[in-house]
Chain A
Amino acid sequence: MSKVFVKVMLFATLMKKYKTEELIVECDGTLKGLIKNVAKILGEEFFNDIYDKGYDNIRKDIIFLINGRSIKDLKEEVKLKDNDVISIFPPLAGG
């Protein structure tokens, strides 16, 4: 798999927890590859913020966007490209 560089942005309590707003991360273009590399920078705990137990499925309650589109609405398997923007929000709401 080719290497790609993507921007990962964290918001709200995630930003607060990791004291990080954005990171440029290198990965193999897969979702798991990306999260693995982010966890190398931010810590293993990051897996639990993104994945359900067992690390197979992205948590239902977070908002995970790739270029503004939710991963839950994308029909194809995720293939990240250079300069993609990944925005991750913890569970939140408002009105």
Chain B
Amino acid sequence: MMGGYMGKILRVDLTTGTLKVEPILEEIAKKYLGGKGYAVYMLYHYLKEYESKGISPAEINPLGPENVLIFATGPGTGIVGFPSSGRYHVMALRSPLTGSIGSANSGGEWGAFLKFSGFDAVVIEGKSEDPVYLAIINGEAELRNASDLWGKNVFDTCRILTKKIGGKNTSVACIGPAGENLVHMACIVNDEHRGAGRTGLGAVMGSKKLKAIVVSGEQKVPVADPEKFSKVSKRCLDVMRKNAVTGEGLPTYGTSILINVINAVGGLPYKNWQTGVNPHAKEISGETLAEKYLINRRACWGCTIGCGRVTSVKSGPFQILYTEGPEYESIWALGSSTGVRDLDAIVKANHYCDEFGLDPISMGSTIAAAMELNEKGYIPKDDLQGLDLRFGNATALVEAVWRTAYKAGFGKYLALGSKKLCGIYGHPELSMSVKGLEMPAYDPRAIKGIGLNYATANRGGCHVTGYTVSPEVLGIPEKIDPLTPKGKALWTKTFQDFTCVVNSTVNCLFVTFALGVKDYAELLSAVTGWKLTENDILKIGERIYNLERVILNKYGFDGKDDTLPKRLLEEPMPEGPAKGHVVELKEMIEEYYKLRGWINGVPTAEKLKELEIEL
């Protein structure tokens, strides 16, 4: 067996109910690593196969049986001592929210336990007539009837299946009512509160009538050079422990600590991005969350950081005895973007997102867009059916999440996501999204580089694809000025390529606050037995990014879609440290395309040849 791999892919055809085991191919693993990379490679080949059968990419229905869902781990996942390696990556051939490639990443334990169950990846094709769940237990896999689980929320589904399967190292990834109801922002949740959140993968799973995948097992992940790995691992974990962010900042406060600092630089979008300064940021900050709601920390499998928050709302109409989060993004989307100041309500709305299986970023941003539409008088009263969507209305926020999950009343419009919603009411410019995916919590008028990343991220308006906020605001690995567009192209490209490697390894992006490309090269070399240099690592990342871009191009996405909402390009920031600024996207993108070797958002033949991508 290759170091780092269990060597097996489970391919499931839900239409015929057949399961096949296929090998991980070493020559593909060497080029695409695993996780996201291997999944992108497989998805590209599905597109090719469909084209050879006369099915064009445009004809692929994201909620049809021809869509494909891939759950993948990488060579680092599930190895004791490989930093924060409990994660997995999910991809879909097509996202119902964006019409482009679907992609999301999640923590918890499921990724590690998939490896222990004997597999590196699971590929889901077709569609089942009746609800089923997939059980993968110590090397054996089976589809089982899920009729008695269909309709259940995420928490109940996880608990029932964990108890039913029993055993050691058991984890459940499932959908809730939102996925079953094909809500375009539905997500996949594992271990009750960890989400593969973005691009509507929960709806894809729901369309296939696949309720859950349970993994369980005690198999061990092989390591090619255990002695070398032990040395490298010790060094890396020591660096992480001593690092002020991974060793103290993140463990103490979790991600919500960003609210005050992003607001202080004038980049915390407020009321659907009308401004980047939230006068009530303190009330929904990480400091307030820690003071009034925090009951414990929680770590994912194998993680020494432990940024997870366990919280409760002690009393009142939004009382919750136990929940996890909310993260920075969730507080921003459900709170700042909607103008809601009541942290009780925000925690409750986030809890609903876990319970029903919804992406809090897209959910919050879609509600915010609806609030602006409504305040401007663009939504007929009858459509709202009593949902009082105005900025700051905490009760309406919580109600809106519930209604979306069940497509009840106005929820059936919210369920489409902000782009389609705003289109229906004649004001597409009020959807703060890129390629149909709602942008996360940083106003690029105040942090220019993240604007370039939003515009060029393959899955749409995404921050983690190339998190330039790190150098621009946090000063990691070094400080660059957020208010200049200069030099941002190289940072964006480098971060995007490196993040592909992280998502293919698969381990946690937060590790990169302390460790760099060199560390990944050493860790992966020791695990796989391959001699990987820093250049090799970045080339693998660039290869994955470009092949994913080729898939985008096949769906008709190119330079015209590498853009930002008009508000960010033309409406100057009205206040704060970034007052008067817009995003100088044109100059950043020109430089970016040059560095990428793309013309109008399309990789050139030379670039593909250089990266050894065979189309």
Interface residues of A (CB under 8 A from B): 11-13, 15, 60-61, 63, 65, 67-70, 72-73, 87, 89-95
The reply to whether B464 and A73 contact each other, CB–CB distance below 8 Å, is no
Measured between C-beta atoms, what is the minimum distance from B293 to chain A in Å? 16
Chain A nearest CB from B162 CB (Å) reads: 27
Q: Is the CB of B464 within 8 A of A95?
A: yes
CA distance A65 to B256 in the complex (A): 19
Cα distance A89–B475 in the bound complex, in angstroms: 12
> Does B138 sit within 8 A of A, measured CB to CB?
no
Asked if B481 and A93 make an inter-chain contact with CB atoms under 8 angstroms apart, the answer reads: no
Q: Is B249 an interface residue (CB 8 A)?
A: yes
Of B258-266, B392-400, B402-410, the one contacting chain A is B258-266
Cβ of B476 < 8 Å from any Cβ of A? Answer: yes
Known contacts A61-B244, A63-B473, A70-B475; A93/B287 CB under 8 A = no
| Known interface pairs A65-B265, A94-B255, A95-B328; A70-B479 also in contact (CB < 8 Å) | yes
CB-defined A-B contacts under 8 Å, sample of 6: A68-B576, A87-B264, A90-B248, A91-B244, A93-B249, A93-B258
Find out whether the CB atom of B249 lies under 8 angstroms from the CB atom of A11: no
Q: How far is the CB of B437 from chain A (nearest CB, A)?
A: 16
Please tell me if the beta carbons of A13 and B255 are within 8 angstroms of each other in the complex: no
The answer to whether residues A92 and B257 also contact, given A70-B475, A87-B264 and a CB cut-off of 8 A, is yes
Q: A61-B244, A70-B479, A95-B328 are in contact. List 4 more A-B contacts (CB 8 A).
A: A63-B261, A92-B474, A93-B474, A94-B327
Q: Is the CB of A94 within 8 A of B258?
A: yes
What is the bound-complex CA distance between A65 and B473, given in angstroms?
10
Chain B interface helix/strand/loop/mixed: helix
Interface-centre pick from A68, A70, A73, A94 (highest chain B CB count, 10 A): A94
Residue from the list A69, A72, A91 in contact with B245, Cβ < 8 A: A91
Residue of B nearest to A13 (CB): B252
- Say whether B467 faces chain A, with CB atoms less than 8 Å apart: yes
Q: Would A67 and B577 count as touching, CB distance under 8 A? A: yes
> A15 to B287, Cβ gap below 8 A?
yes
Checking B257, B287, B328, B577 against A68 with a beta-carbon cut-off of 8 angstroms, the contacting residue is B577
Contact residue among B264, B467, B473, B576 (Cβ-Cβ distance under 8 Å from A95): B467
Assess whether B248 is in contact with A91, with CB atoms less than 8 Å apart: yes
Report the bound CA distance from A32 to B255 in whole Å.
Answer: 31
Partner of A92, one of B261, B327, B482, B576: B261
Question: Smallest Cβ distance from A87 to chain B, in angstroms?
Answer: 5
Give the distance in Å from the alpha carbon of A13 to the alpha carbon of B470 in the complex. 19
Interface positions of B (Cβ within 8 A of A):
244-245, 248-250, 252-258, 260-261, 264-266, 286-287, 307, 327-329, 463-464, 467, 470, 473-476, 479-483, 509-510, 513, 576-578
Tell me the minimal C-beta distance from B383 to chain A in angstroms.
35
3 closest pairs, A vs B, by CB?
A: A68-B577, A94-B255, A91-B244
Contact check: which of A60, A70, A95 meets B509 at CB < 8 Å? A95
Q: Taking chain A's interface residues, is the majority helix, strand, or loop, or is none over half, making it mixed? A: loop
Q: Do A61 and B475 form a contact, CB below 8 Å, given A11-B261, A73-B483, A89-B261?
A: yes
For B287, list chain A residues within 8 Å (CB): 11-12, 15
Cα separation A60 to B244 with both chains bound (whole Å)? 11
Q: How far, in angstroms, from A92 to B467 measured CA to CA in the complex?
A: 14
C-alpha spacing A94/B308, complex, angstroms: 11
Residue of B nearest to A59 (CB): B244
Contacts of A13 in B (CB 8 A): 248-249, 252-253
Residue contact A93 to B470, C-beta cutoff 8 Å: yes
Q: Given known contacts A12-B253, A68-B266, A90-B244, is B479 in contact with A95 (CB within 8 Å)?
A: no
List of A residues within 8 angstroms of B480 by Cβ: 73
| Alpha-carbon distance A62/B328, docked complex (angstroms) | 19
Q: Which residues on B sit within 8 Å (CB–CB) of A12?
A: 249, 252-253, 257, 260, 286-287
Distance from A83 Cβ to chain B, minimum over Cβ atoms (Å):
15
CB <8 Å contact, A93 and B483:
no
* Known contacts A87-B264, A94-B258; A73 and B250 CB within 8 A of each other: no
Q: Which residues of B contact A68 (CB under 8 A)?
A: 264-266, 576-578
Q: With A and B bound together, what is the CA distance between A93 and B246 in angstroms?
A: 8
Most buried by B among A11, A12, A65, A92: A92
Q: A67 contacts which chain B residues (CB < 8 A)?
A: 577
In the complex, what residues of B have CB within 8 A of residue A63's CB?
261, 473-475
Interface centre among A11, A15, A95 (most CB of B within 10 A): A95
A72 and B463 alpha carbons, distance in the complex (Å) = 23
Establish whether residues A73 and B328, one from each chain, have CB atoms under 8 Å apart when the complex forms.
Answer: no
Q: Are the C-beta atoms of A90 and B249 separated by less than 8 Å?
A: yes
B256: A residues at CB distance < 8 A: 94
CA distance A93 to B247 in the complex (A): 11
Nearest CB on B from A92, distance (A): 4
Q: When chains A and B are docked, how far (Å) is the Cα of A64 from the Cα of B612? A: 45
| A63 CA to B261 CA, complexed, in Å | 9
Is A93 a contact partner of B248 (Cβ separation < 8 A)?
Answer: no
Q: Which residues of B contact A60 (CB under 8 A)?
A: 475, 479
> When the two chains form their complex, are residues B249 and A95 in contact, meaning their CB atoms are under 8 A apart?
no
Which has the most chain A C-beta neighbours within 10 Å: B244, B327, B464, B482? B244
What separation, in Å, do the CA atoms of A89 and B256 have in the docked complex?
Answer: 14
Residues on B with C-beta less than 8 A from A87 are 260-261, 264
In the complex, the answer to whether A93 meets B476 with C-beta atoms within 8 Å is yes
Closest-by-CB residue of B relative to A15 is B287
Whole-angstrom CA separation of A2 from B475 in the bound complex: 32
Say yes or no: A94 contacts B257, CB within 8 Å. Answer: yes
B446: shortest Cβ distance to chain A, in Å? 8
Give Cα A90–Cα B264 distance, bound, in whole angstroms: 14
Q: How far is the CA of A94 from the CA of B253 in the complex (A)?
A: 9
| Contacting residues, chain A, for B255 (C-beta < 8 A) | 93-95
Asked whether, in the complex, the Cβ of A95 is within 8 Å of the Cβ of B327, the reply is yes
Is B510 a contact of A95 with CB atoms below 8 Å? Answer: yes
**Nearest chain A residue, comparing its CB with the CB of B262:** A94
**Nearest A residue to B579 by beta-carbon distance?**
A68
B474 proximity list for chain A (CB < 8 A): 63, 92-93
A83, B80: Cα distance in complex, Å: 52
Find the B residue at minimum CB distance from A70. Answer: B479
